[in-house]
Structure 1
């Protein structure tokens, strides 16, 4: 129980800081710790189902904290969730049909590409088209930044994010945050906070499908949940103390680490 509490706390704190959710830590940890520490065999579908269940607590706690600080763009989160929510249910229903090793490696390679794009984003020409939905954000120093998106690209990206979230149980922030930063010019802190709001809806619907299919373990979910609630709140608190440049570097380091893990393991 203490191991699971610590796992939920560490994974959720880190996931809330960078907006990834924490599933990238929980899923492999359950697969590795199941036989030796927990005395049970945890297969891929069960690990994904439990991870999504825990992500509900993580994302709820962090989203409420970010909302109190005015960093969550709730309207944008709900817009992305129009497609990410239903597609997370589709992904959850397909988890058992895919070869997990092949899919993990392919996704790891894609994450490496996202890291390269994030590192080079200062040299990439920003999108100059007209956004239909325009938002503005004013930081603590009084500087105002404009960002936005068009309906079709946002819905397509939201759908892919939801599919990946339900399929792998990792939340989907690994795709959503790079898209927000590179395509829609979201400020890093707004991207992190908004991503957690989208993850909440995707995790809620995706975990419901895994629960219905029996790919679930209440003992694991409820043992991880207290640490996830605390970690989601703590990660959101830590995130506000980190500058935008450092936050992007932490995101890149996290994506690089988990990309390598997905490719090599």
Structure 2
């Protein structure tokens, strides 16, 4: 009973945070299942199962967040569908590769990736978004009436979609840690639009990625069912919280989280090598 309560809380907390920063919550679920698996199920949870389980829960989290963001008209569906063209298949490839990474190596690579993303976000204040005029231009009017202009080209967008999809399937984190900073720095997306659109793409990619993990027997269905209720409500609440945060606050929350979790994963990875 205590284990069930913990899983409900884990799904709720991870989804709230994941929705706020556009990660989808997997960045909390995957390490938690790996570190606490023996206490929850009586035996250790291998990282492929943790990743597959996380992706399955991300479907619910990302759907709840996307619906909430849609009410605020912050999801750029046209851009999201374009990114999904490559992120979807790449998520399937990444999911198939997860099981080939040994314990220790997985945590180390995961941690280094998170640290690189954190470094990119820390440097963001000292970097200016690219001023290039992209061939495809989009506009977004925020609640205060300010008009934001951003854009992209199809080929770079497809390449980024592929990289993010690979990360999503391989690590089970949704890929928002890469999507959001790249969309903000390279394409000048407003942070709130980047977060909302990221959640939409995560929703689509998670369906394909978790399908591969399910076919490989790398999903713990009972844990998924325990996490889903909290994930649904947490995803919706997180989207509402994010709607009230400033873009600057959103980015600082993402930076601090990535630094803390990347440090923990790198240390754990070295101890298991």
The bucket for the TM-score relative to the shorter chain is: over 0.9
Q: Which residue of 1 aligns with 2:101?
A: 98
For each residue in 1:16-55, what CA deviation from the matched residue of structure 2 results, as whole angstroms up to 9, or x when unmatched?
0100111111111111222123223311111111000000
Equivalent runs, 1:1-265 vs 2, <5 Å: 1-265=4-268
Cα distance, 1:130 vs structure 2: 2.6
CA contact (8 A) 2:110 2:171 kept: no
2:118 and 2:37 mapped to 1: Cα distance? 31
Closer, same or farther: CA 149–104 of 1 in aligned 2, 3 Å = farther
* Distance in structure 2 (CA, Å) of the matches to 1:106 and 1:11: 21
Does the residue aligned with 1:120 lie in a helix, a strand or coil? helix
CA distance in 1, matches of 2:205, 2:155: 19
Q: Aligned pair in 2 of structure 1 residues 74, 100: CA closer, same or farther (>3 Å)?
A: farther
Conservation of the 8 A alpha-carbon contact between 1:34 and 1:41: yes
Unaligned runs of 5+ in 2: 269-273
Runs (4 or more) in structure 1 with deviation over 3 Å come to none
Contact conserved, 1:118 with 1:182, CA < 8 A, in 2?
A: no
1:217 is displaced (CA, Å) by: 1.8
More deviation, 210-219/108-117: 108-117
RMSD across aligned positions (CA): 1.4
> Aligned pair in 2 of structure 1 residues 254, 172: CA closer, same or farther (>3 Å)?
same
Q: Which runs of 5+ in 1 are unaligned?
A: none
TM-score, normalised on structure 1?
Answer: 0.96
Contact 1:12 1:227 in 2 (8 A): yes
